[in-house]
């Protein structure tokens, strides 16, 4: 789980998204696309859990009220970030 969060921090940072907090033992990472003059901060919650020898990572992007975004754009972005995670090396 720690390796996945480490990878995801770098992936998100390349996109200008900062990690706000990480709790590896709880499997939770909070990140946000920082506010600019033209947009509010946009929170991203990351949840990781293990099932046997599989690690599941889920990202939830919550739009604040009054903010709109294309579902396909958000889905493509989140899936693109998750697809960059490398599997655990043996």
- Give domain status of residue 48, yes or no: yes
Tell me, yes or no, whether 38 lies in a domain.
yes
**Count of residues making up the chain:** 90
pLDDT at 73: 86
Counting the structural domains of the chain, the total is 1
Residue range 49-80, pLDDT digits in tens = 999 889 999 999 888 788 888 888 888 888 99
Parallel/antiparallel/unpaired status of strands 54-61 and 28-33: unpaired
Range of the domain at 12: 2-83
- pLDDT, residue 18, reads 94
Q: Is residue 90 part of a domain?
A: no
Q: What CATH number has the domain bearing residue 17?
A: 3.30.310.80
CA distance 86 to 4: 8
In tens, the pLDDT along 2-31 reads 999 999 999 999 989 999 999 999 999 999
Give strand ranges (E) for the chain: 18-23, 28-33, 42-51, 54-61
Q: Do the bridges between strand 42-51 and strand 54-61 make them parallel or antiparallel, or are there none, so unpaired?
A: antiparallel
């Amino acid at each position: 789980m720690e390796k996945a969060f480490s990878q995801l921090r770098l992936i998100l940072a390349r996109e200008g998204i900062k990690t706000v907090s990480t709790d590896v033992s709880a499997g939770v990472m909070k990140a946000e696309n920082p506010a600019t003059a033209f947009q509010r901060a946009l929170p991203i919650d990351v949840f990781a859990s293990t099932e046997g020898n599989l690690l599941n990572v889920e990202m939830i992007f919550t739009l604040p009220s009054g903010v709109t975004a294309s579902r396909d754009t958000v889905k493509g972005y989140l899936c693109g970030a998750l697809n960059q995670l490398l599997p655990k090396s043996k």
